[in-house]
Amino acid sequence: MPFLRNEPTRYILGYLRPHAVAVALLAALLALGIGFQLYVPQILRAFIDGAREGSTVAELTTLALRFLAVALVGQLADAAATYVGQDVRWRATNRMRSDLTRHCLHLDMGFHNDQTPGKMIERIDGDVTALSNLMSDFSMRVASNVVLLGGVLILLGREDWRLGVVFTVFVVTTMVVLRRLARFAVPQWKKAREVTAELFGFLEERLAGTEDIRAAGAGGWILQRFHDLLRSTMQVRRQAFLLGSSMWIATVALFTLGNVLALATGAWLFNSGAITVGTVYLIFHYTEVLRRPLEQLAHQLEDLQRAAGGLERVTELRSRTPRIAAQPAASIGPVAVPAGALDVSLDRVTFGYQPDEPVLHELSLELPAGRVLGLLGRTGSGKSTIGRLLFRLYEQQAGVVRLGGVDTRSVPLRDLRRGVGLVTQDVQLFNATLRDNLSFFDRSITDERLLAVIDDLGLRTWFDELPAGLDTELASGGGGLSAGEAQLLAFTRVFLRDPGLVVLDEASSRLDPATERLLERAVDRLLKGRTGIVIAHRLGTVQRADDILILEDGVVREHGARVALLADPGSRFNALLTTGLEEVLA
């Protein structure tokens, strides 16, 4: 079965190891509970036999009080075990969620482009939640139930070897049947988790696009697609549930057989004079004790069916490795990016999001340090791709990308991205204070530093209008801010890092009249003393550029100084400005 494989087992134990003391306490509490469960029937047998044989009231009272004390302590031990188990479960699974999130953040953009936010939430939270029993209750309680079963069988065998044989065969038969049934259900529960993740991904995408869906009149189609997914999810989960329920039905049938065995063997041994009435009750009581661990094992196997699918998906996610190494290979580097403005060089670079569909074709580009390049082209021409390669969100299939004369593949990702500032038209804002949104929750950045950057960018007037300054709470997704104000925050973030290269990817396409002047000043200040690449559809946004490059289908169609191209009547740039055919680039 999947959970018995070495890798998943090591994976789970790795998260339980830091809680070894709590796990040991849980084991001790469970062992105490087992001891009491095995001892209670002995007290009851002594009470029954004592009552039949004429024991005194004091002796019977002592046995009754002992029974109450043992039962009470057993219940307290069970409650304490539940508390400790839940604590270990939450601590271990929260750490697992954190590690999975960190792992996914280090995966390349190719992975994230194939995932929807809803699907990622289901994979990181839903699958881990399905694993929660494995992190505490499952492992320890399965072990305790196995020990309890063994203890009952030993005590029954001590009473009469024939009892030990009969009930050992009964327990082994029960476990074999349940295990065989579980083998059929595990793959189905894995499939159920996959269709659930697909359903959540569909819901997230459609809820995010509610306005567009309504505007396009596509509500009916979305509902139909939603019903199709619900139907598919219901069918898969129903089949998984039915397979899981088959174990419960088998358990009920086997327990009925166990009761018949207990009554039949007890009556036979009592009639033959081998045991007392109290021992007959002891046999029946131990049969009922067997019921609890076997029932729990049956439920735990059902939990395991769900968890096994989640575990396979979690370990599969953990096994994914980023195509872009965070640290360069020993044979290449590491090398540091020079400080200050960076020159940019692309040497015969070929790249495609799909290897057989290149977006850039042997593209070469030289941009001296301190100059600003205006990058123009149609949608899909490869403009944004260049920015992503410079930021190393993707790795080119051929050619070399250099910043400051250094191959970007020889620079650790963290250091490289400190040297490159990327601002896009879609600014991600968090439901947090302005301070946290600017610093990305980096507590080492002081308020004085934040205010100094705001002043440097000429944003003090805008900042003074905020209701609580740096403590102003921003809504998730930028609610309450205009598009231009969101861009101001993005520029401030980049300025805090002081990169040598700034890439503005359509960053001015969302200007609004109220903040346009502030944004223009911020862009000028941001580009001062740095190398800049301004990626745009609109010609008007590259008027501050020193050089112009026009891309078509991943190939350079025109490249030169902006002033020279503007003065050349035969240049494409001049023709576009003269005729105003900006829509050609859209």
The proportion of the chain whose per-residue pLDDT surpasses 70, expressed as a percent, equals 80
Please give the residue that has the higher pLDDT: either 175 or 338.
338
Nearest to 526 by CA among 488, 570, 577: 488
CA distance 298 to 273: 36
CA distance 187 to 128: 17
Range 256-281 average pLDDT: 79
The proportion of the chain whose per-residue pLDDT surpasses 90, expressed as a percent, equals 4
pLDDT for 531 equals 92
- pLDDT at 51 exceeding the cut of 60: yes
Range 532-536 average pLDDT: 86
pLDDT for 467 equals 83
- pLDDT at 57 exceeding the cut of 70: yes
Q: Which residue has the tokens 């993707």?
A: 394
Strand pairing partners for 377? 551
Give me the CATH code for the 2-319 domain, please: 1.20.1560.10
- pLDDT at 511 exceeding the cut of 70: no
pLDDT for 3 equals 41
pLDDT for 494 equals 85
pLDDT for 431-487, tens place per residue? 888 888 888 888 888 889 888 888 887 778 878 888 888 888 877 665 566 777 777
54-68, 186-200, 423-437, 555-569: segment of lowest average pLDDT? 186-200
The pairs formed by 41-44 with CB atoms below 8 angstroms and a separation of 24 or more are 41/281, 41/282, 41/285, 41/286, 41/289, 42/282, 43/67, 43/70, 44/278, 44/281, 44/282, 44/285
CA distance 574 to 558: 11
For strands 398-403 and 501-505, give the pairing. unpaired
Tokens of 547: 């050089």
Question: Which regions of the chain carry the CATH code 1.20.1560.10?
Answer: 2-319
Range 521-539 average pLDDT: 81
Please give the residue that has the higher pLDDT: either 7 or 86.
86
CA distance 433 to 451: 14
- pLDDT at 373 exceeding the cut of 70: yes
pLDDT for 332 equals 56
Give me the CATH code for the 344-585 domain, please: 3.40.50.300
CA distance 86 to 553: 57
Q: State the average pLDDT for the chain.
A: 78
pTM (whole model) above 0.95: no
pLDDT for 2 equals 43
- pLDDT at 138 exceeding the cut of 70: no
CA distance 196 to 190: 10
- Look at the chain and count its residues: 586
Helix (H, G, I), strand (E, B) or coil at 552: strand
104 band by pLDDT with thresholds 50, 70 and 90: confident
Q: Which residue has the tokens 């029937």?
A: 41
141 band by pLDDT with thresholds 50, 70 and 90: low
Nearest to 359 by CA among 393, 330, 389: 389
Please give the residue that has the higher pLDDT: either 439 or 291.
439
Question: Which regions of the chain carry the CATH code 3.40.50.300?
Answer: 344-585
Which DSSP letter does residue 337 get? P
The pairs formed by 569-573 with CB atoms below 8 angstroms and a separation of 24 or more are 573/376, 573/539, 573/548
